[in-house]
Amino acid sequence: MKINMTINEQPTIVEATPDERLSVLLRKLKYFSIKSGCNTGFCGECSILLDGKVISSCIIPVAAARNSKIITLEYFIKTEYGEDIKKAFTECDVTLCGYCDAQKYFAIYELLQEHPRPTREISYKTVSSFSCHCIDSESMINVINKTASLMRSRTRGLKYGQK
């Protein structure tokens, strides 16, 4: 079956069975930021943005993504938000394992969309749900705070640290 979707701003027609997992299809299309984690939607290692919402692509059938806009980490990392998060990871001296990148990048993005100035409790609630323990919670909270700060500075048109 031919299915229309927009992947990373590129209109695409994919050949797939309707009940195929979206994560499997995207990996076939060589978007390897989507990892095969738990396949139950729990771990978030296959996270993508589907029409602007963070979802686990392993529990979405391809048919449900028809005519949708999909953003994978490969594209997201080049956006302003992605760059802010990446910069925050670098500045906080935190290196991810490479398997949970999508989970952590999109979780931070989702959190900061909802809470641009997250409290420690809100941040902790997000990071404590991470299934991959390659980074400790305190370091992740630091990254979230740094990202929030970078995003606020950017949206105000100021460089980070500039008053």
Partner 1 sequence: MPPKKTKTKNEFLANSSSYYSDMYDDQMYYAAIIRSPIDKGTIRSIVCNDIDENSRLITYKDIPGINKINFLSVEMPILAFQNISYIGEPIAIVLSPDQETAHYLAMNADIRYTQSFEEEKTSAVNNDMIMAHRVVKYGDSDTAFDTSELKIEQTFDFKLQTSDTCIEDTGAFVVPKKDSLEIYCPTNWPANVKQCISKATNIIPQNIYLQRTKTQDCSTIRLLLTTQLVCQAAIAALMTNKAVKIVLSKNEQNNFVYNPLRTRIRFRSSTNTTGVITAMNISISMNAGVFNPFVSEILDRLVIAAIGIYNPQNFLIEATALKSQASPSNADFRRLDVHIFAALESHMQSIAPLAGVTPLELRIKNITSPCADRPFMIEISKAITVLEAVAKTSDFNRKYASYYIHSQDQLKWCDSDKLLDPLRGIGLASAFNGNYYYGSVLDFSKQTIELMIDIDGTITIFSDPVSSSIKQIWTKIASKILNVDEKLIHFSQPERADDNENVSNTLFGNVGIMTSLLKKACTAIQKQRFRQPLPIKIKRVATISKKNNWDENDFTGNPFYDTSFGAAVMEIELDPFTFKESIRGVWIAIDAGEILDAIHAEQTIRRSVERVLSSLSENELTSDNIKIVFADSNENPKNIHNIVDNIIPAAYLSAITQAVRKPITLLPLSSNTTYKTGFTQKISGENQE
Q: How many CB atoms lie within 10 A of CB 130?
A: 18
Cα separation values, 84 from 3, 13, 18, Å: 33, 31, 36
Looking at residues 83 to 102 of the shown chain, list those that interact with partner 1 (rule: CB under 8 A): 86, 93, 95-101
> Which residue of 124, 145, 149, 153 would you call a contact of partner 1, by CB under 8 A?
124
Q: Does 45 bind partner 1 (CB under 8 A)?
A: yes
DSSP 30: T
Q: Does 39 bind partner 1 (CB under 8 A)?
A: yes
> Rounded to the nearest 10 degrees, how much is the dihedral formed by the CA atoms of 86, 12, 3, 53?
30
CB of residue 2 to partner 1, shortest distance in Å: 17
Q: Which sign does the torsion angle of CA 54, 90, 78, 33 carry?
A: negative
Q: Which sign does the torsion angle of CA 106, 99, 150, 128 carry?
A: positive
Cβ–Cβ < 8 Å for 103, 132: yes
CB of residue 4 to partner 1, shortest distance in Å: 22
* Nearer to partner 1 among residue 29 and residue 152 (C-beta): 29
Looking at residues 49 to 88 of the shown chain, list those that interact with partner 1 (rule: CB under 8 A): 73-74, 77, 86
Window contacting partner 1 (CB under 8 A); options: 26-34, 49-57, 108-116, 155-163: 26-34
> Which residue of 4, 79, 113, 128 would you call a contact of partner 1, by CB under 8 A?
128
DSSP 53: E
Point out which residues bind partner 1 (CB under 8 A).
20, 24, 30-33, 35-39, 42-43, 45, 73-74, 77, 86, 93, 95-101, 124, 128-129, 131-139
